[in-house]
A and B are shown apart, each in its own frame.
Chain A
Amino acid sequence: MNQTALLVVLLLTLSSLAYHFGRKRAFAVSGGRIRTLHSLPAYYGLYSALWSILPALAVTAIWLAMQDSVITGMVVAALPPDLSGLEPARLNLLLNDIRNLVAGNIVSSQPSADVLAAADRYRSLQGTSGFALFTTALGLAAAGAWFGYSRIRPEYRSRNAVERTVMWVLIGCSTIAILTTVGIVLSVLFESIRFFHAVPVTDFLFGLDWSPQIAIRADQAGSSGAFGAVPLFAGTMLITLIAMVVAVPIGLMSAIYLAEYASARMRSIAKPLLEVLAGIPTVVYGFFAALMVAPFIRDSGALFGLDIASESAMAAGLVMGVMIIPFVSSLSDDVINAVPQSLRDGAYGMGATQSETIRRVIFPAALPGIVGAVLLAVSRAIGETMIVVMAAGLAAKLTANPFEAVTTVTVQIVTLLVGDQEFDSPKTLAAFALGLLLFFVTLVLNVFALYIVRKYREQYE
């Protein structure tokens, strides 16, 4: 990896040289009269520099991305047939051993001669590849620099060329958002499809029993119907509901109070303080829920003779609600402020009291926006992970009792993926299926909510 850094530094050096000489040449071809040049000399320098670095960097990036799989393929091809014919999971383990040997890590078992040979081969291929990459990239850089340099003429529109390139770079950067979405969809979809080969979609969506741990043994995969996600949905909904019951009234009422009643001074103090709640990392809330709130709820329940689980949905939901308060209140604040003054005037002019105006005019007028805000908050609650990982339970249970322990979609994704994973077991793949579901549900909620909010804004513009 240090080699890569070295290569990049070399490429950068080459391109700055190209810049320097390009600029000099521009001066030279203009005969000292810069006005005869189409563009400023710096642009000619940049032109050469870009020619020198861009193709070389592109090749380097592609090379590095491909290198591992190509080398692995070659190593596997050269393995003796009894090894290369192994089933994929075992082969992966073997390859891991080989890679570890190459990296100089300690390998668990005594490696066989074949494996050692393969590791040697791997290492030598890596060396060859590295060398080839160095020569190719540096050669390309030099060639590019020369090409750019040789095209420098006074009438050449280097600024336009440079700007075109920059524009393409800008466009490239702006598509990252799309690529990310595509990446998310593809990665979860791909693994989910593999999961649904092992477990039927209907079992997953409508099954009432979730116990992925029993599917550890490959021969048992999916056979017992242990991947029924309904208890997870129910748990997620229960905790989300509790969170909303806390966050919506408090968030909404504090937004209303701060917007309509509070003095400017109070607003300037209370608003930022409430927003601090939004800046606290979720892991902190998780710790708070698990170590303070959950025992508190359990002990207070015990006072009344209630038997409350120490990982009750109540604790996680309460704390999640607190986390979401500022989210609801700042969105509601925007929405309430968008209600035109003329509506308020209309109500006040009729002799409505402030609270009547708020309840009967402002609130109903802002309702679509508030619904949008609440939907966004619900989507936040559904996707929230750390609080539930730390404070909710692990065992799936189909219950509506907030004092029992339930588990959620995000908790299961984390527990299935943290720790040692086998990449082909339904247990791991199930996490991706849950991820797909989570992504899909939150996406629908977000799109819908953002649409409502936008329509609402347009109505009053």
Chain B
Amino acid sequence: MEAQASHLMASGGPSHRAVGADLGGGTYDRAHRGTVGEIRVEVPRMRCTKVNVHYGDKHAIHDVSLDVGKNEVLAMIGPSGCGKSTFLRCLNRMNDTVASCRVTGEILLDGKDIMAPEVDVVPLRARVGMVFQKPNPLTFPKSIFENVAFGPRIHGLVQTRAELEEVVVTSLQKANLWEEVKDRLNDPGTGLSGGQQQRLCIARAIAIQPEVILMDEPCSALDPISTAKIEQLIDELRRQFSICIVTHSMQQAARVSQRTAYFHLGDLIEVGDTDQIFVKPQHQLTEDYITGRFG
């Protein structure tokens, strides 16, 4: 581990600030790739090392190394198209479903490599759940109940109807949706409001008790009130799960996350405690982005 960490320019400090400074605003030298800040945590849930992603000829992620800690919310920010979603989708191998996509590098979950070809993505995805940008309640099975029951059913997590009902109710409660839907569990999920649908998707994800939940801009299609509810929910869920959230809103990252990673053109530029990143970014690009000079 140490050997790997050493060439990753893993320590922050004034010297890097100097490097960042002479790169200047936006004219960013690809030859000097590397991440500023501490990419590792003490108790990692997931540990990525030198991950590269290609879409056909397009190199979308370059040598990204990053840890996801236990019981933390890790926010990923960066301008559009910088590869946040692509990286996130590596963490539960959703990129396998994209024909042109090729992922290399090492990704460990609880110390075990999930990239190995013999690893089955099915149990992996049961442990690393995902919530998407656009709320996508299943149209079939339709009902709110069946949407939440989908995971437990396919994974065979429950034996009896009573158990299933308990899981569904608990998940909806954890997702702060129970009070709103308890009288209409058999209504279609698509009939809910956008915010409710997104919480339904979260309930669906937590019904199978994953260890990590990946969220790709979960609030970008929602109004401020729904957003606030989801942010509150994320904060509560942190006690049980590790959460990686991609967000376009820096305020949101600041509000919900403990650590923040800044991506730029497929590179992981800077990682650090959220408080530090937003108050005192070390890399020029991070600062430019946070102060709103681009992105």
With A348-B94, A348-B97, A351-B154 already in contact, the answer to whether A343 and B129 are too (CB < 8 A) is no
B138 touches A344 (CB 8 A): no
Decide yes or no whether B122 CB sits under 8 A from chain A.
yes
Decide yes or no whether A361 CB sits under 8 A from chain B.
yes
| Cβ-neighbour of A343 out of B125, B139, B205 (below 8 A) | B139
Decide yes or no whether A452 CB sits under 8 A from chain B.
no
Interface size class of A (residues with CB under 8 A): 10 to 19
Which chain B positions have C-beta within 8 A of A364? 139-141
Decide yes or no whether B228 CB sits under 8 A from chain A.
no
A347–B154 Cα distance when bound, in Å, is 10
A362 to chain B minimum Cβ distance, whole angstroms, is 9
A353–B97 Cα distance when bound, in Å, is 11
A363 to chain B minimum Cβ distance, whole angstroms, is 8
| Cβ-neighbour of A365 out of B129, B132, B140 (below 8 A) | B140
Decide yes or no whether B201 CB sits under 8 A from chain A.
yes
| Cβ-neighbour of A349 out of B99, B129, B139, B155 (below 8 A) | B129
B154 touches A349 (CB 8 A): no
Which chain A positions have C-beta within 8 A of B125? 348-351
B138 touches A343 (CB 8 A): yes
A344–B136 Cα distance when bound, in Å, is 9
A182–B90 Cα distance when bound, in Å, is 60
A349 touches B122 (CB 8 A): no
A350–B127 Cα distance when bound, in Å, is 9
A350 to chain B minimum Cβ distance, whole angstroms, is 5
Most buried by B among A264, A342, A343, A350: A350
B141 touches A350 (CB 8 A): no
A312 to chain B minimum Cβ distance, whole angstroms, is 39
A351 touches B139 (CB 8 A): no
B151 touches A365 (CB 8 A): no
A346 touches B121 (CB 8 A): no
Decide yes or no whether A454 CB sits under 8 A from chain B.
no
A442 to chain B minimum Cβ distance, whole angstroms, is 30
A348–B129 Cα distance when bound, in Å, is 10
A199–B131 Cα distance when bound, in Å, is 67
Specify the chain A residue showing the minimal Cβ separation from B92.
A349
B56 to chain A minimum Cβ distance, whole angstroms, is 13
B277 to chain A minimum Cβ distance, whole angstroms, is 28
B140 touches A349 (CB 8 A): no
A353–B201 Cα distance when bound, in Å, is 18
A158 to chain B minimum Cβ distance, whole angstroms, is 57
| Cβ-neighbour of B132 out of A349, A360, A361 (below 8 A) | A349
A357–B186 Cα distance when bound, in Å, is 21
Which chain B positions have C-beta within 8 A of A361? 138, 140
A364–B140 Cα distance when bound, in Å, is 6
Interface size class of B (residues with CB under 8 A): 20 to 34
A344–B140 Cα distance when bound, in Å, is 11
A365–B147 Cα distance when bound, in Å, is 13
With A350-B150, A364-B140 already in contact, the answer to whether A344 and B124 are too (CB < 8 A) is no
B238-249 contact mask (Cβ, 8 Å, vs A): 1 or 0? 000000000000
A349 touches B130 (CB 8 A): yes
Which chain A positions have C-beta within 8 A of B141? 360, 364
Specify the chain B residue showing the minimal Cβ separation from A347.
B138
A42 to chain B minimum Cβ distance, whole angstroms, is 53
Decide yes or no whether A307 CB sits under 8 A from chain B.
no
Decide yes or no whether A345 CB sits under 8 A from chain B.
yes
A348–B97 Cα distance when bound, in Å, is 8
Specify the chain A residue showing the minimal Cβ separation from B99.
A264
With A356-B154, A360-B141 already in contact, the answer to whether A350 and B136 are too (CB < 8 A) is no
B154 to chain A minimum Cβ distance, whole angstroms, is 5
A367–B204 Cα distance when bound, in Å, is 23
B121 touches A351 (CB 8 A): yes
| Cβ-neighbour of A345 out of B129, B136, B139 (below 8 A) | B136
Decide yes or no whether A237 CB sits under 8 A from chain B.
no
Decide yes or no whether B126 CB sits under 8 A from chain A.
yes
B201 touches A346 (CB 8 A): yes
B136 touches A342 (CB 8 A): yes
| Cβ-neighbour of A342 out of B99, B122, B134, B208 (below 8 A) | B134
| Cβ-neighbour of A360 out of B134, B136, B140 (below 8 A) | B140
Specify the chain B residue showing the minimal Cβ separation from A340.
B136
B95 to chain A minimum Cβ distance, whole angstroms, is 11
B119 to chain A minimum Cβ distance, whole angstroms, is 13
A348–B95 Cα distance when bound, in Å, is 11
Which chain A positions have C-beta within 8 A of B132? 342, 345-346, 349
Decide yes or no whether B295 CB sits under 8 A from chain A.
no
B122 touches A353 (CB 8 A): yes
A323–B155 Cα distance when bound, in Å, is 40
A361–B138 Cα distance when bound, in Å, is 7
Which chain A positions have C-beta within 8 A of B191? none
Which chain B positions have C-beta within 8 A of A349? 92, 94, 125, 129-132, 205
A364–B92 Cα distance when bound, in Å, is 25
* CB proximity to B under 8 Å, residues A222-278: 264
With A349-B129, A351-B208 already in contact, the answer to whether A360 and B154 are too (CB < 8 A) is yes
A344–B125 Cα distance when bound, in Å, is 14
A342–B221 Cα distance when bound, in Å, is 14
A352–B201 Cα distance when bound, in Å, is 15
Specify the chain A residue showing the minimal Cβ separation from B130.
A349
Specify the chain B residue showing the minimal Cβ separation from A349.
B130
Decide yes or no whether B123 CB sits under 8 A from chain A.
yes
A351 touches B140 (CB 8 A): no
| Cβ-neighbour of A350 out of B97, B99, B140, B205 (below 8 A) | B205
With A343-B138, A345-B132, A365-B139 already in contact, the answer to whether A350 and B151 are too (CB < 8 A) is yes
User: What are 21 of the A-B contact pairs (CB < 8 Å)?
Assistant: A342-B134, A342-B136, A345-B136, A347-B138, A347-B150, A348-B94, A348-B97, A349-B125, A349-B129, A349-B132, A350-B125, A350-B129, A350-B204, A350-B208, A351-B123, A351-B124, A352-B150, A360-B150, A361-B138, A364-B141, A365-B138
Q: Which residues of B contact A (CB under 8 A)?
A: 92, 94, 97, 99, 121-126, 129-132, 134, 136-141, 150-151, 154-155, 201, 204-205, 208
- In the A-B complex, the 7 residue pairs with the smallest Cβ-Cβ separation, listed nearest first, are A364-B140, A351-B125, A349-B130, A351-B126, A342-B136, A346-B136, A350-B151
Given A343-B138, A349-B129, A360-B141, 18 more A-B residue pairs with CB atoms under 8 Å apart are: A345-B136, A346-B137, A349-B132, A350-B151, A350-B154, A350-B208, A351-B121, A351-B125, A351-B126, A351-B129, A351-B154, A351-B208, A352-B154, A356-B154, A360-B150, A364-B140, A365-B138, A365-B140
Q: Which residues of A contact B (CB under 8 A)?
A: 264, 342-353, 356, 360-361, 364-365, 367
